[in-house]
Structure 1
Amino acid sequence: MKRTSISRKLLTRVLSVYFILTISVTGIQIIAEYFNTKSHINSELLTLQKTISGSLTRAVWELNTQQAVDISEGLIAIPMIKGITVTDEANNVITQLGEVLSAPSETSQDTFSEHQSISSLAEGLFGHSFPLIFEFSGRTTTVGTVTLLSSNDVIFSRIEVGIYFLIGNAIVKTTFLVFLFLLAFSKLLTEPLQELTDQMKQLDLHDPEASKFHIMNDEKNELNILEDAYNNLIDELVEFKDKLSLSQRETNLANDKLDEQNLLLEQEVARKTSTLSSTLLRMEVQQKEMLEQQNELKAENNRRRKTESTLMTTNKELKNSILELNKAQDRLLEAEKMASLGQLSAEVSHEVNTPIGISITSTSYLADIITKLQQDISAQKLSKRTIDCFISNAQHSITLLSNNLQRAAELITSFKQVAVDQTNDKVRLINISKYLDEIIQSIHPKLKKTNHCVKINCDPHIEIYTHPGAIAQIIINLIINSIIHAFHDINRGTITIDVTVEQQRLIILYRDNGTGINEEQLDKLFDPFYTTQADKGGTGLGTHIIKNLVVGTLNGSIDAYSGSEGGLSYRMTLPDMRYS
């Protein structure tokens, strides 16, 4: 029968399992890298959507086909973009460049919520479509759609180096493991067994003492047990040989002693056999105990894997809950912002009614005196006194009409600028002093109902590039908070706004002389949904919106202080602002 090496057999089985496991893990890593890269490309497409949607919407709304084509040509030059299609609100193609799906979906524009994912396995293309929504006068209109496509070739080009690295890493680890196992099996099993075999082949029956095993190994293992058993057998053979020699020299004189020695030898052999059997039995017991321990370890590992799976599932659910809470918070913040703008719009509209009504009355009166003048002319009753009276009344009416129309125009202009800034995040150059006056003018209808006053101390030459909508929202929220909370029981309150520039930083110091707040309320001032008037309709989002605008939108910082004598102060620092 052909001899089979135990070490080679063990090595073959271990490496076979490791090779299959390595191939499986490497394949899973490559698949995960593919889907991860595809997810990144989809995220880049969504980011690109936010970048181009505004300009494309304006171009399609204004029927500027050439601008839409230029934007599309610029996008198709990006290596990630393999195809782009722009259609109008009637699904008529405005421009179509690069790859195109063979069977595009006929999705109605009314079904778009944010974007629609597109994927074609046969053509290796994927991407998404999104509507072009134009906002005008507080209403939204879908003016067209845009389809952005990418391909699997882009994914493979990005993960090509990673695939080579994964395969190379698996090959290096496998090679090192093969070498390590070969060295370990050779050192711990093959070489000791070969040494034992060679020593057994060199057994000399004439001198068995010289044939004892001598393994250079201090460890106590199965090989040492075999060595001890073989050496014991050699000792017995030596002893038996000595006794046999003695008995041969005294054969004629000690036959009885020979029988006795034979009996003793049999007893010794029986004893050694019993000892060997006991040793084998103990080894079997130890092996059973090791198997039981292995089973216990496997059961413990299974329990830990189940616990880990449960923890991962719970962690995933918690992450999803946090994401939903963040989305809900963003929607509440946006609703609070639009509610503030709506209330401001209603108050401005009510305020505009007064100068418009006076203007209509003046116009009617002017029409009446003109009719009376025409009647006097027709009846030939015209006199110098009549003309003077008509001129005086007409001038008075025109003065009233001009002043009130100018007042209405100022209110509408201030509100329009502030409202546009709050719904538009574009950065533009503003004069801080004039812009603060426009903000105060836009909320004049609300201040008019109170006896409170607002004082602004600002250098009229300070101009900065910033988000004016964020500035307006911050000032309006601060003033409304002062009116509702700080001046709740105060008839004549004073609000002071000081604006200065210190070391290339714009400093806005807002103060009121209201009731102030205690230290516990001050610590929770910027927390979302924290309010001291929850029973009166307070949402607790005013100061939270202010902090988000200062820190997130304007990249600045805000601190609040409340003195022992009452009142509340806010210090806002806007860094790295270009000013003149």
Structure 2
Amino acid sequence: MKILVVDDERLNLKVAEAYLKNMSGEFEVILCQNPLEVEKLVVENDIDIVLLDIIMPIMNGTEVIEQLRKNHYLNDVQIIILTALSDAETFKVCFDKGADDFLKKPIDVNELQARLKAAIKTRNNAKILKKMYQRLKEQNLELKELNKVIKEAQFYMIQKEKLASIGELAAGVAHEINNPLGYVGSNIETMNNFAEKIKQVVDVYRKSFAGLEQLETQNKEGQAYFTNVHDAERKFKFNFVMDELNSIMKDSGEGIERISKIVQTLKNFARTGAENETAYSNLNSTVEEALLIVKNEAKYTIDIETHLEEVPEMECNSGQLGQVILNILVNAIQAIKAQNRSDRGHITIMTGSAENSVFLKILDDGPGIPEEVLGKIFDPFFTTKDVGQGTGLGLSISHDIIVNKHNGMITAGNNPDGGAWFYITIPLKKEGTDCL
């Protein structure tokens, strides 16, 4: 317990010091003759109790009390006034200023001991209360942080439900598109067959027509009919139409086949099976399906180059892996577009395999990832996009899919020449299963 004795008389200080040291060896006594130094000594030495004389030159005791109480960090310091005065007005002023107790001069040892005992108890209680208050503040901050985490988790679950609902809707829409698409594809195939038959019949007509024309060369009335037919063929570009008919039907069939493939890809990505539902699938096929979806987003500003090595099939949820690849590609495309550059951007996708795993690497020549946030990009809700332009869940979900659901690894960094890279490895088999 640290006690500061303040008195302008050195003799009084020495007497008080002797009393205090005789009472307890645990008291650390500090003496002060200059009242102007009191606040500094209290702060520097973390004083617990101040024994303060009232009548002093330069600055009296009531002024010292007022100065100490203005510093709210010193509110718990116990101030006991020492005075030979006995008028009630002096006591009232001292207690109004913030004194805690008083002791009359000359000092009575028993009275001093009793006053100090009460002051020590009050000071210790104040320290306990301060610690409890500090702990409550810390617990309150912890609760706020926990509440924030709970709210974020709740938001994550809502977003997850929304994504699942959107996936179901997308699958339903794809199914609805597939039905008329099937009719159109079938009809085009039939039309193609019909067109071929029409062409064959027309060929027979034209050969027969040529023969008849030779027979009727001397008949002017018959010749007029042949002339009308030739004029009609030229007017309606009949030869061109017949030549282009097969090409048009072929292009239409290929267009329908492409639409059908896109719809099937959307259905695969929107599939809402169980999260642990897996099947053997090829990584390259999943990459190609993802490219089919993002192709339109990138075609006017970005070139996408692929180096897909032959890789073995792996046990995985191809829909989830497709979501990861889409997230990374869409982020790269958006980052490159945000640069508003005059030249075309570039994205490179590479796949390959090691002894027991396959890997995927995606590189871009965009702005890269700021070094200060590189370690946070897989955290839930972290995003560098403006408010309303992203939830910050894409890469977090991707990390969960690769690391937790496929026992793989996903890392990211910046290329030496600019742009970002993402590297993913996935084991060929999940725990508890045999590899093909």
TM-score by length of 1: 0.38
Over alpha carbons, which structure has the higher Rg? Answer: 1
Please identify which structure carries the higher helix content: 1
TM-score, normalised via structure 2 length: 0.49
